[in-house]
Each structure stands twice: as structure tokens, then as C-alpha cells.
């Protein structure tokens, strides 16, 4: 884990307000699905780094892809970078998805339901890659407000279902509406997206008795577990905090749904 | 040229250099131990610890502001027992001083923690009477000179290690507080803790922090911190530990020239995890450049 | 969509919009009148004026700090007679409200200025009891509730115009000060004045300001200012005028949501001379975006 | 007077730590010798503009030249700009040298002694240009620590004398030592440089009974006369302040030596 200067290999706008960036970094070696990096702005007014999930890793090429939405001044700054620019990043952060351990290891018949909502979709791309790389199957269910992005890239890794809030593509509604409409069943669920979606996923997984891993978000300061800024409520007493609070940046961002109180 | 001596002594405890970590921004040293060599810094100051585990405040607990941040962690901590079992043994493996930051709701709480730490491998105790983010205790003790005097006396009576009283900047007259701490027997004072601030999200029309207010830290507060350190250093004879927005060796030296015998790095660890170690090197470079052989010669020379 | 109403009323005085200039940062309007149309802003607040001319402090009087600046002008001013003869006639040519900021060393000084202004074309008086840069008077009145109460009473007794008491942030409890001003009859309070700070030049080993300390202003202090405005607005019923680091319409709106009925722009005029006028436009844009027809609907809605 | 975005036409390092920059700006029309602009950094940490004197004006081309020394973070930032970059400036500021009025108007026999010390040399270049453009003569006396810069450019406008502290060129000593060594006499003096030099010039002008105009420096916040940050003591009561303080940014930076108390 370290802070380093990475070089931007490419930057593309892939939807309105949504950008895809490949950056060259030694940290790629350590990176996996579900983990994130923290990206520093160049402004002296904004001193905290922005947590951004890893969307794809190119270990051979030593590069990481991030896909982000302009949400404020920091991400707006990032969107202005072009090939050859440098950017300071801190990483690799977070626990990520423990692909091998999760489902009891290597059973090729295990099937995953991969649910991504909005800007929670990018981290799922590396996940489907890693998941299918060990010969497991998955359904990807992607939820959008209206405009689609990244959906085509998921198609190489299994069947893809779309949900849109305005009904302009796929199921009208959210990812769970699409899951139900398409009668999708799996052995394990992975989900990333807005809090209402994650709450629904947690409830769904409990009803259906399917284990679910969800990726949480919170405001962060350090990103490395030192400040206790980014906690979430846990159902059991957390081993680090000795209270019912886990640090999303280090104990997460991926949690077993049943273990968090959201 | 001759050897450079960066040693400083706080209440009889010698630090190899004046660079400490500010409580609450460095965990218990473990997290940033991945970035900096803990053997290279003067002291690690741990996150505030209470007699029993504390849950802290609801989230969001942190918010970025211009040149700094607000936090309202609310002193979440696993309690002093976990500190003794897990964190102190970890820190003992390093050649650095260990300062434990102590918080509580009542005088008894503070005293309980201090007594529990009496025989532990702790070099100094920093008594946090200035956290703006908890409803009871803490800052209530740090904003009235009499209350500060009383709690200092009570803690000092039971403490086996020297005590540093950590002062709040949210006061009319910092010299009054520093003097009260000194009069009650404090071995040192440290300042500043965060300045109470607020941020509002104008689009959602809500507070950025669940706690509404939070403590402001980072470069934004440095001029206020330097001023208060200067004032405190001129008001008392006990050592003053300075902090507030330190990001570089130049900042650290500014505090030292103003009267700080040691300094601590807080929020800027989040911006640059290597800050503490870089400051140690930068202070040495400054001393070499100006031919200063003993760091103590710099303490409080700007008057 | 329907017309947007940005009018606000402070102590019976209607301002066409809530954007004012902060005293001491806008001269008497003449200087920045080259950049902004004074007719477009709610009020011009003039530099603090005393009964007789004041020389102010030695230079350097200003220093840049991270995200802000320090100043120790020391209330240099040509005296109230020059204000009446030169500056007020100039301001009268514009369709904007005129607020005169008043300073003094003794209660009598303040009263003398206020009386002298009784029949002048002045809409509001802002009584500066919070300047940290003069030895006598000023802040001494603004850091003790009883002293603030007394001077407010004395000034109010003689003032023909409504009075705004300008509060110092260098206090333990801002609500106590706001309440003292209200209890003594103040028509409004404005805050915050600058926070006392210090900067040291580590190479020359001297203070950056001849006065050693100076007042910190600019974006660095905004979170402290928002917090104090929020606290004051919840402590008193009289209007609160908010300032401290305002650089944009978003900043101004943050203060308004926190409880400010009007806002003032200080140090950021130096960074961008067009700030005040741009904020007026930006507030209108925000109101349009969110369908707010009357600005008063926004005042203090974040609770 | 306004704040505008100017474009950098060229930047050259002309001595160690000293840079020359031409910028394209509409403000060139209003600019004259002795005036200055205030240059903004791009850092959110440094909000006050840096006052920098006008070294040359190209009215036809709409461009201004500035020559500056790296003194801290702001000027260090400026030195990194390259052709095509933009920079925010505020101007034109200050009174400047009233070339026509100064010496009673248009007498071609009036001779000026133009004294520049260190980074006070750049503004003198535009002055000698404007002075000689109306057929008046001058001696330029330039004082340096060691390394010379701009000296060759003064040669087109009359004789140039050099003083260096280390004696590596011209007279060993300061500008007044060079004046004395070369027995230079003139009807009027213009000077810009460090405070000790200006004090000496003031004294010299009084002794010799020659009128002297000196250009002062002070820390500035607004640059436009509003903040009263940049005052100097005056011998007579200043008409604006009603006390013995004049604003260097607006009443100066050029003052008649006898009118200021330095
Ligand atoms: C673990 C994790 C992974 C994330 N992955 C992605 C991703 O892959 N793509 C993407 O577009 N976004 C992602 N986000 C959200 C992203 O961090 C925010 O959109 C971003 O920080 C906004 O910064 P800003 O300066 O543009 O916005 P501002 O609102 O101006 O930011 C102000 C402050 O708030 C913080 N902040 C604002 N929104 C959020 C948020 N939603 N979560 C955490 N901090 C926030 C910023 O980091 C900054 O400190 C992730 C968040 C977390 C916690
Ligand atoms: C009227 C006038 C004309 C000037 N002309 C020139 C010129 O042509 N070439 C040149 O190299 N320099 C000139 N200077 C000095 C120049 O303004 C400073 O060197 C510059 O501001 C330093 O900025 P910095 O960020 O590099 O240094 P820092 O020391 O980091 O600056 C910190 C703050 O102090 C101010 N400051 C620092 N030094 C000075 C100074 N000497 N005078 C005024 N403010 C200062 C800065 O503007 C800034 O606000 C002039 C100054 C004045 C007042
Ligand atoms: C996230 C965070 C947590 C903190 N927790 C504590 C704490 O537990 N005890 C304490 O005394 N101070 C605490 N502080 C205050 C810091 O130790 C320090 O006094 C303050 O932040 C000013 O220094 P800085 O500007 O370098 O951050 C905390 C500060 C931050 C930012
Ligand atoms: C250069 C300068 C001069 C000031 N002079 C006065 C003054 O004369 N009277 C006064 O009440 N406040 C004075 N102030 C304080 C401002 O009016 C304002 O309260 C403060 O600067 C905070 O606002 P800001 O951060 O927007 O600058 C002065 C501030 C500055 C920077
Ligand atoms: S962000 Fe600091 S603990 Fe997670
Ligand atoms: S810099 Fe503000 S008056 Fe000169």
C-alpha cells in the first residue's frame, strides 16, 4: 500500500457525465475486484483523496481502469485530465471480493448473480472477469436511470440483463425487478449500487436464503483505517473496534449483507 | 559540520525528534506503519481511549472543506483494555515514544483510564479535554479554566506518567487555559485541538455531518494554531506541543519558532501518509542550512 | 416562471438583495466601483471609522496564508468628518444601502461617531467591537458579554439609525455574545470578524506582520463562520448577517441556509473583484434552479 | 482597470532565478513606465495576487513584458508557465512615472539619472524607452549582486553604468558608488530597488538638490487602494488618508522622495 504518481494512459467519456480512465501504476499488481484506490486532486483546496473503485485491472500491462461520474469539484477535475497527465493515487485499498473463498472454493457449478446499480456498475466488471476466469458462471444485472454504459462490456462474461428507471431499456424498474422478471436464480449475490438498492438486495437475499456480498460507500478521510471516519453498523461486535462499527475502507467496502446493519 | 541534535525533552521524556502524530489521525500506529517507519518519528500518539468502548457518532463523520476537513468521529474507541492488549504491545516493538490520548465523560472516567495505564508501557498521557464532538465531558472540561484546573488536578493525582493537557482553541483566552493547566500540575500542554465548524450541503439542504458540527483541522487552521501556541508558550513555563495544519517541515519549524517544544501532524497524514517522516528529514535539512546544531536553540526564538 | 424576489429586510431597512461588502475590504466603495456596479449589490459597508483620524499599524500589515490572509491594518481611517464629506456623498449617487462601520477606543468615541452620523445619509450602523488589531477598545468590548452589553446600550441610546453589532469569533461561546447584544437592544448582529492568527517567516525568523498577530480571513475560516452564524441565529431573534470566507454564491447560500438574513464578502474581493456582483447573479440562478421565489424562504431552513 | 485572463507569448530565463515573460493583454493600451500588474497564481492556497512591475509595453502588439525573480511559491509557479498558457492578471495598477509632467515638460535638455537595483531594474527599462522617446537623455546605472541581466537592453537608450557588489563588473559597490565614480550629474533622478538603496538615493538627492522619484514596495492585498495594507509614511498629511500614510498601490508606487518618510 502506498501513495504514488500514476500516468494517465487514456480517458474517454462513456456516457453523459461518466468517464473511463486507464492509468499506469505499479499498484495494478496488487489490485483485485471490489477494491478501490483513492485519487488526489491537484487543488490545494481539496486535500482528501476521492475513493474510486477498480473497474478493470491489466496486471500484465501494469494498469488500472476506473470509471467515475462527475459528482463534484474533484471528479470534475479528473475528467479534464488527458493522456500523459499524472495523478496521485493511494492504494490498493479495501478488502475486495474474496473470489475463491466466497463460495466454498472452486466449485464450477456455483452461479453468481452480479447486481450493479448506476455508478456501482464499474467495480462489477472486474468481478465478472475474475469470476468467469475460474470457469464459473454469472448473470449480470445492471440498473440505470436512463442512459446505459459499460453494458456491452459485460456481455463477454455471461448473460446481461438491464433495468432502467424510465423503462427506456430492459425491465422498467430496478435490478431486483429485472431479477424477478427474468426469474434469475443463483448461489451467491454480489451487489454494488445506491443504498436503497443495497437494502433491497439484503432483504432479498435473506428472503431467498442466498448469501449476498454488498459493497458499501461512506465519506472517507484516510482510506487506510486510521481515522474511523467511514464506519458502518455491524450486527456483531466488530473485532477491531470492539463496538458494532466496521471500517468500510479497510474491513470493507465488501461486506456479507447479513453482517451489516444498513 | 558537527552532528545535528534533534532531541527534545517533554516532562523528562526524551524524544529523538520533535515530530509526533496527532491523536485520532494515526490510529494506533499500525495503519500508517505501512507508509512510515515508526522508528523514525519522535512519538506516536494514539486515538483517544476511554474506560469502556465508545461507539462514536453516526455517519457521515467527515467532510472536506477548503484547505482542511471537519470531523465528528465522536471518539469511537475500543476501550482501554483493547488498547493495552493489542495496541501497546504493537507500539512497544518500535523505538518511538508512546503517548496515549485519554478521553472520558466524567472525571472518574478519565481517572479510571489513567490508573489502568499506570503500569503499561506508556511514556506520556495526553488528556483530551477539548474534543468538540461529544456531548458530555471532553470539551466541557476544556472551555472553563476552573473545570480544566479541577480535572487536571484529579488526573495528575493518579497518573504515574507525566500528563499533557490537550487544550481547546474554542476559547476566548488560551493563556488562561494554559495557566490553569500549569497551576494544577500539568507537565505539558498540547494545542490546538480542532476548531468547531459546520458545513451545509446547499443542494440537499442538510448538514454535511450527521452531528451537524465538527472539528476543523488542516492547513486552514494553522495561523490560529501558531498564534495560540505562541501565546501559550509565553504564558506558561511547561513545554508546549504544537499542532494544527502542519503539512511540512516549514510548518513544523514555524510552530517551534513560536514556542513549541514538539509538534504533531494530524489531518495532513490523510493527504500525504509520509508527512511525519518527511518532516523529520526537512527539519534536519533546515538545521543544516542555517547551522543550527541543537533543535532546542530554535524553540521560541521568535519573540 | 414567476418573478424572483431577493429582497431582505434588516431592522426595517430593505436591501434589494442580501449581498453586502465586508467592512475594510471594499474601501468606501470607490475603489471597487471600477469593477462592480454598486447599484447591483444590497449594501456597501464602509471601512471602520472613528471620531478622529487613525494612523493604523506599522507595515507589513498583510500576509498571505493558506486559503486566506492575515491583516493588521489597525483601523487606519481618515476620521468621520472625511467620511461625511467625501465618501457618503459618493455613495449617495448609487442605488444601494449604505452601512457605516464604526470603531473607537472608548465608549465615548463610539457614541461621538454615531451621533455625528445621525443626520447623514446612512441606512445602518455596524458597530465594530471585534477588531483584533488595535490595543485599546474594539475587541475588548467584543470578548466579554457584559462589556458588549454596556457598549451596545450606550450606542443604541444615541443612534438614529438601527445598529448592527459586529461580533468577534475569538470567544468561547458566540451565543452568549449574540444574546448580550440582543438584550441591550441591538437591531442585528453581524459575524464573523477575523480570527486572531499569526504567521512566522522561518527564514528571517520574524513575524510576517509588524503587529505580530493579525486577523485571519478568507475561505479558510468559512466553516467556523457558518457554525457561529448557525449558533447565533438559533440564539437570537434579531437578524444575523453572515460573513467569513465567502467566495461564491454557493458559499453565500450556505450562510443563508444556516440562518443569515444577509451576507458580506470580504477578503475574496481581493482575489476576484467581481465577487459581489457574481454572487448576486448566482443566488438568483440557485433560486431559479430550485424554484424558490422568495429568498427569505431560504433563511435558516437547515436545522 | 480590470481582472483578465492573459496569454503567455514567451517565457525565458535571463539569469539564475530571473525570468522574462511577454503576455498578451488588452491592458497594454493603458500601461506605462512605473506601473504594475498583479498576477494571480493557480493555486487555491495562494489567493492574493503578486504585484509585478511592467518592464516593457508593446502597445501596438497588445503585450506587456514582466521580468521577475523567484522569491517564493507564487513566482516559482509563474516560472513554470510556457507559451500558450494563460494567467490571470489585474491591472493596470499604480501611478507610474509622469514622464511629461515630472521635469516641467518637454525640455529636451533635461537629463535623467536612472537608477535600478536588483529586481528594481526591470521597470526602468520601459522608463528609459519612454524618456528617450521624447528626445531626452539619460544615464542608466544598474546595480547587481553579481550576475548581470537586462543591462544590454538599456544600451540602446543611452549610456549604461554597472555596479556590482562583488566587483565582478563595473564599479564595486552600489549604484551611487557608480554615479560618483563616473561623475554623473542630471536634472532628475528615477530609482527603483531595495529599501537601503532608496534611502541612500533620497539622501543623495537632498544633498545634491536634485529631485528624485523613487518606487516603493510593500505587501499588498487588494492592489487597488481598498484595503490600506500597503501604506508608506508620508511627510505631509496624505489627502486620501487624512493621516501621514499613502497607499503604495494607488498613490504610488512612484513617490517624490521628499514626500515619503522611509
Ligand atoms: C469505496 C468507494 C468506491 C467508490 N467508487 C466509485 C467509482 O468507482 N466511481 C464513482 O464515480 N464514484 C465512486 N465512489 C464515489 C466517489 O468517491 C465520489 O463520487 C467522489 O468522492 C466525489 O468527489 P467530488 O470531489 O467530485 O465531489 P464532492 O461532493 O465535491 O466531494 C466532497 C467530498 O465528499 C466526498 N464524497 C462525495 N461523494 C462521495 C461518495 N458518494 N462517497 C464517498 N465520498 C464522497 C469526496 O471524496 C470529498 O471528500 C466511491 C466511493 C467509495 C466510498
Ligand atoms: C509595486 C511592486 C512591484 C514589483 N515588481 C516586481 C518585479 O517587477 N519583479 C519582481 O521579481 N518582483 C517584483 N515585486 C516583488 C514581488 O511582488 C514579490 O517578489 C512576489 O510577490 C513574491 O511572491 P512569491 O509568491 O513568489 O513569494 P512569497 O514570499 O511566497 O509570497 C507570499 C506573499 O508575500 C507577498 N510578497 C512577497 N515578497 C514581496 C515583495 N517583495 N513585495 C510585495 N509583496 C511580496 C506575495 O505577493 C504574497 O502575497 C514587486 C512588488 C511590488 C509591491
Ligand atoms: C479524524 C480526527 C480525529 C481526531 N481524534 C482526536 C482524538 O481522539 N483525541 C484528540 O485529542 N484529538 C483528536 N483529533 C484532533 C487532532 O489530534 C489535532 O489536534 C487536530 O486535528 C489539529 O491538527 P491538524 O490540523 O494537524 O489535524 C482528531 C482530529 C481528526 C482530524
Ligand atoms: C483588510 C481587512 C480589513 C478589515 N477591516 C475591518 C474594519 O475596518 N471593520 C470591521 O468591522 N471589520 C474589518 N475587517 C473584517 C471583515 O469585515 C470581515 O469580517 C472578515 O474579514 C471576515 O470576512 P472574509 O473572510 O470574507 O474576509 C477587515 C478585514 C480585512 C481582511
Ligand atoms: S476513511 Fe479513515 S478509517 Fe476509513
Ligand atoms: S494593497 Fe490594498 S490598499 Fe494597497
Are residues B228 and B206 in contact, defined by beta-carbon separation less than 8 angstroms?
Answer: no
Closest B-chain CA to D46: B67
If we measure between CA atoms, which residue out of A226, A224, A260 comes closest to residue A245? A260
Task: Output the CA D219–ligand 2 centroid distance in Å.
Answer: 7
CA distance C32 to C269: 8
SS (H, E, C) chain C: CCCCECCEEECCEEECCCEEECCCCCCCCCCHHHCCCHHHCCEEECCCECCCCECCCCCCCEEEECCEEEECCCCCECCHHHHHHHHHHHHHCCCCEEEEEECCCCHHHHHHHHHHCCCCCCCEEEEECCCCCCCCCCHHHHCCHHHHHHHHHHHHHHCCCCEEEECCCCCCCHHHHHHHHHHCCCCEEEECCCEEEECEECCCCEECCCCCEEEEECHHHHHHHHHHHHHHHHHCCCCEEEECCCCCHHHHHHHHHHCCCEEEECCHHHHCCCHHHHHHHHHHHHHHHCCCCEHHHHCCCCC
Give contacts of B79 with chain A, Cβ < 8 Å: 242
Which residue has its alpha carbon closest to ligand 2 atom 9?
A: D68
The backbone region for A124, taken as left when phi is positive above 0, alpha when psi lies in -120 to 50, beta otherwise, is alpha
Taking every pair of C-alpha atoms in chain C, what is the biggest distance, in angstroms?
60
Interface of B with C in 243-282 (CB under 8 A): 245, 250, 253-254, 257-258
Asked if the structure places residue C265 within a domain, the reply is: yes
List, as one string, the DSSP characters of D160-202: EEEEETTSSSSEES-HHHHHHHTT---SEEEEES-HHHHHHHH
Are residues A247 and A208 in contact, defined by beta-carbon separation less than 8 angstroms?
Answer: no
Are residues A134 and A161 in contact, defined by beta-carbon separation less than 8 angstroms?
Answer: no
- B46 three-state secondary structure: coil
Span A234-246, average pLDDT: 93
pLDDT above 70 as % of chain B: 97
> Cell triple for residue B81?
483494555
Q: What is the dihedral of CA A209, A212, A218, A221, to 10 degrees?
A: 130
Question: CB distance A225–B27 less than 8 Å?
Answer: yes
Residue A102 confidence class, pLDDT cut points 50, 70, 90: low
- Give me Rg for the CA atoms of chain A: 18
Cβ of B98 closer than 6 Å to ligand 3, yes or no, is no
Given 3.50.50.60, 2.40.30.10, 1.20.1290.10, 3.40.50.720, which CATH number is that of A2-93?
2.40.30.10
Residues flanking ligand 1, CB < 6 Å = A 36, 48, 50-53, 66, 68-69, 71-75, 119, 122, 217-220, 253; B 64
Are residues C79 and D237 in contact, defined by beta-carbon separation less than 8 angstroms?
Answer: no
Total domains in the fold of chain B: 1
- A142 three-state secondary structure: strand
Give contacts of A47 with chain C, Cβ < 8 Å: none
Residues making up chain D, counted from first to last: 262
Task: Output the CA D224–ligand 6 centroid distance in Å.
Answer: 6
Q: Which residue has the cell 476548531?
A: B195
pLDDT of residue C1 exceeding 50, the answer is no
Task: Output the CA C197–ligand 3 centroid distance in Å.
Answer: 19
Q: What is the CATH number of domain A99-217?
A: 3.40.50.80
pLDDT above 90 as % of chain D: 92
What's the pLDDT score for residue C152? 97
The backbone region for B13, taken as left when phi is positive above 0, alpha when psi lies in -120 to 50, beta otherwise, is beta
Cβ of A142 closer than 6 Å to ligand 5, yes or no, is no
What's the CATH code of the domain at C285? 3.20.20.70
Task: Output the CA A254–ligand 5 centroid distance in Å.
Answer: 14
Give contacts of D43 with chain A, Cβ < 8 Å: 44
Judge whether A2-93 and A99-217 match in fold.
no
Stronger pLDDT, B213 or C136, i.e. the higher one: B213
What's the pLDDT score for residue D108? 66
Are residues D93 and D223 in contact, defined by beta-carbon separation less than 8 angstroms?
Answer: yes
The backbone region for B212, taken as left when phi is positive above 0, alpha when psi lies in -120 to 50, beta otherwise, is left
pLDDT digits (tens, 9 = 90+) for A219-230: 999 999 999 999
Task: Output the CA C171–ligand 6 centroid distance in Å.
Answer: 29
Are residues D204 and D129 in contact, defined by beta-carbon separation less than 8 angstroms?
Answer: no
> Cell triple for residue D134?
521624447
If we measure between CA atoms, which residue out of B80, B178, B167, B183 comes closest to residue B128? B167
Are residues A90 and B273 in contact, defined by beta-carbon separation less than 8 angstroms?
Answer: yes
Residue C141 confidence class, pLDDT cut points 50, 70, 90: confident
Span C114-119, average pLDDT: 97
Domain carrying residue C155: 8-51+72-196+215-298
The burial class, CB within 10 Å (0-12 / 13-18 / 19+), for C73 is buried
CA distance C65 to chain B (A): 7
Active site residue B84: no
If we measure between CA atoms, which residue out of C62, C56, C58 comes closest to residue C78? C56
Q: Which residues pair with D245 in a beta bridge?
A: D233
Asked if the structure places residue C206 within a domain, the reply is: no
Cβ of C166 closer than 6 Å to ligand 4, yes or no, is yes
**Closest to C254 (Cβ–Cβ): which among B170, B202, B224?**
B202
- Give me Rg for the CA atoms of chain B: 18
Is C65 in CB contact (< 8 Å) with chain A?
Answer: no
Is C55 in CB contact (< 8 Å) with chain D?
Answer: yes
pLDDT digits (tens, 9 = 90+) for D180-194: 999 999 999 999 999
Other CB atoms within 10 A of residue D95 CB: 17
Least confident of B85-99, B122-136, B219-233: B122-136
Domain regions of chain A by residue span: 2-93, 99-217, 218-251
Cβ of C193 closer than 6 Å to ligand 4, yes or no, is yes
Span C11-33, average pLDDT: 97
pLDDT of residue B22 exceeding 80, the answer is yes
Asked if residue A181 has a cis previous peptide bond (ω within 30° of 0), the answer is no
What's the pLDDT score for residue B1? 47
CA distance C174 to C238: 15
Asked if the structure places residue B203 within a domain, the reply is: no
Other CB atoms within 10 A of residue A100 CB: 11
| Candidate from B23, B83, B271 with most ligand 3 atoms within 8 A of CB, to mutate | B23
pLDDT of residue A197 exceeding 70, the answer is yes
CA distance B111 to B117: 10
Are residues C84 and C77 in contact, defined by beta-carbon separation less than 8 angstroms?
Answer: no
Are residues B61 and B32 in contact, defined by beta-carbon separation less than 8 angstroms?
Answer: no
Span A202-206, average pLDDT: 96
| Residue D138 CA: distances (Å) to CA of B96, C63, C256, D35, D208 | 68, 38, 60, 20, 17
If we measure between CA atoms, which residue out of A128, A126, A129 comes closest to residue A141? A128
If we measure between CA atoms, which residue out of C184, C123, C119 comes closest to residue C151? C184
Span C197-211, average pLDDT: 98
Closest B-chain CA to A241: B78
Which ligand sits nearest to residue C73's alpha carbon? 4
Cβ of A229 closer than 6 Å to ligand 5, yes or no, is yes
CA distance C164 to C123: 11
Whole-number average pLDDT of chain D: 94
**Closest to A47 (Cβ–Cβ): which among B68, B71, B78?**
B68
Give contacts of C219 with chain A, Cβ < 8 Å: 45
What's the pLDDT score for residue B140? 74
DSSP code, position B22: P
Which residue has its alpha carbon closest to ligand 4 atom 26?
A: C266
Closest A-chain CA to B24: A227
Give contacts of B224 with chain C, Cβ < 8 Å: 195-197, 216
Span A20-44, average pLDDT: 97
**Closest to B205 (Cβ–Cβ): which among C67, C223, C301?**
C301
pLDDT digits (tens, 9 = 90+) for C224-236: 999 999 999 999 9
Question: CB distance A227–B68 less than 8 Å?
Answer: no
Give contacts of A73 with chain C, Cβ < 8 Å: none
- Helix (H) or strand (E) run with residue B281 in it: helix B275-289
* Beta strand pairing call for C188-191 and C195-198: unpaired
Other CB atoms within 10 A of residue C217 CB: 30
Task: Output the CA C62–ligand 2 centroid distance in Å.
Answer: 12
The 10 Å CB-count burial string (b at 16+, else e) for B64-78 is: bbbbbbbbbbbbbbb
Q: Which of A77, A218, A223, A229 to mutate to test the interface with B (most CBs of B within 10 A)?
A: A229
Span A184-203, average pLDDT: 95
Task: Record the pTM.
Answer: 0.97
Span C219-247, average pLDDT: 98
Are residues D162 and D173 in contact, defined by beta-carbon separation less than 8 angstroms?
Answer: no
Amino acid at each position: 500500500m502506498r501513495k504514488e504518481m500514476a500516468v494517465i494512459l487514456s480517458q474517454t467519456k462513456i456516457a453523459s457525465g461518466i468517464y473511463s480512465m486507464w492509468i499506469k501504476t505499479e499498484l495494478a499488481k496488487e489490485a483485485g475486484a471490489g477494491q478501490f484506490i483513492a485519487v488526489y486532486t491537484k487543488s490545494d483546496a481539496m486535500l482528501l483523496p476521492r475513493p474510486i473503485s477498480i473497474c478493470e485491472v491489466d496486471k500484465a500491462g501494469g494498469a488500472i481502469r476506473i470509471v467515475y461520474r462527475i459528482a463534484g469539484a474533484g471528479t470534475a477535475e479528473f475528467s479534464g485530465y488527458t493522456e500523459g497527465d499524472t495523478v496521485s493515487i493511494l492504494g490498493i485499498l479495501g478488502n475486495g471480493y474474496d473470489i475463491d473463498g466466497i463460495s466454498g472454493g472452486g466449485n464450477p457449478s456455483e452461479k453468481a448473480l452480479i447486481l450493479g446499480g448506476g455508478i456501482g456498475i464499474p467495480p462489477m466488471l472486474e468481478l465478472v472477469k475474475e469470476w468467469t476466469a475460474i470457469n464459473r458462471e454469472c448473470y449480470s444485472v445492471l440498473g440505470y436511470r436512463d442512459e446505459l454504459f459499460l453494458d456491452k462490456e459485460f456481455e463477454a462474461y455471461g448473460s446481461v440483463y438491464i433495468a432502467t428507471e424510465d423503462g427506456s431499456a430492459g425491465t422498467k424498474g430496478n435490478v431486483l425487478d429485472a431479477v424477478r422478471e427474468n426469474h434469475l436464480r443463483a448461489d451467491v449475490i454480489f451487489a454494488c449500487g445506491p443504498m436503497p438498492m443495497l437494502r433491497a438486495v439484503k432483504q432479498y437475499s435473506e428472503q431467498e436464503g442466498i448469501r449476498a456480498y454488498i459493497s458499501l460507500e461512506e465519506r472517507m478521510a484516510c482510506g487506510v483505517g486510521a481515522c474511523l471516519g467511514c464506519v458502518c453498523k455491524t450486527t456483531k461486535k466488530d473485532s477491531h473496534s470492539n463496538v458494532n462499527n466496521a471500517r468500510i475502507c479497510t474491513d470493507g467496502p465488501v461486506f456479507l449483507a447479513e453482517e451489516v446493519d444498513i | 559540520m558537527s552532528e545535528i541534535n534533534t532531541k527534545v525533552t517533554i516532562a523528562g521524556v526524551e524524544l529523538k525528534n520533535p515530530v509526533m502524530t496527532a491523536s485520532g489521525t494515526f490510529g494506533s500506529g499500525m495503519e500508517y506503519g505501512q507508509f512510515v517507519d515508526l522508528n523514525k518519528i519522535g512519538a506516536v500518539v494514539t486515538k483517544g481511549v476511554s474506560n469502556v468502548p465508545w461507539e462514536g457518532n453516526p455517519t457521515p463523520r467527515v467532510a472536506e472543506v477548503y484547505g482542511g476537513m471537519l470531523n465528528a468521529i465522536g471518539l469511537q474507541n475500543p476501550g482501554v483494555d483493547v488498547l493495552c492488549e493489542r495496541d501497546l504491545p504493537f507500539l512497544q516493538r518500535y523505538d518511538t515514544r508512546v503517548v496515549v490520548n485519554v478521553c472520558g465523560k466524567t472525571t472518574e472516567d478519565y481517572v479510571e483510564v489513567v490508573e489502568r495505564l499506570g503500569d503499561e508501557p506508556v511514556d506520556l498521557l495526553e488528556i483530551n479535554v477539548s474534543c468538540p464532538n461529544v456531548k458530555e465531558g471532553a470539551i466541557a472540561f476544556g472551555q472553563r479554566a476552573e473545570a480544566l484546573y479541577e480535572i487536571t488536578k484529579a488526573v495528575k493525582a493518579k497518573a504515574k506518567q507525566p500528563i499533557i493537557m490537550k487544550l481547546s482553541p474554542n476559547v476566548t483566552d488560551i493563556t488562561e487555559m494554559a495557566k490553569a493547566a500549569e497551576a494544577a500540575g500539568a507537565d505539558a500542554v498540547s494545542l490546538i485541538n480542532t476548531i468547531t465548524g459546520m458545513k451545509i450541503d446547499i443542494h440537499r439542504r442538510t448538514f454535511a455531518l450527521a452531528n451537524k458540527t465538527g472539528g476543523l483541522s488542516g492547513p486552514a487552521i494553522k495561523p490560529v494554531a501558531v498564534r495560540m501556541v505562541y501565546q501559550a508558550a509565553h504564558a506558561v513555563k511547561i513545554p508546549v506541543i504544537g499542532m494544527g495544519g502542519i503539512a511540512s517541515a516549514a510548518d513544523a519549524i514555524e510552530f517551534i519558532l513560536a514556542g513549541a517544544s514538539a509538534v504533531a501532524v494530524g489531518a495532513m497524514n490523510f493527504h500525504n501518509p509520509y508527512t511525519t517522516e518527511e518532516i523529520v528529514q526537512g527539519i534536519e535539512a533546515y538545521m543544516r542550512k542555517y547551522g543550527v546544531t541543537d533543535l532546542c536553540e530554535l524553540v521560541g526564538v521568535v519573540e
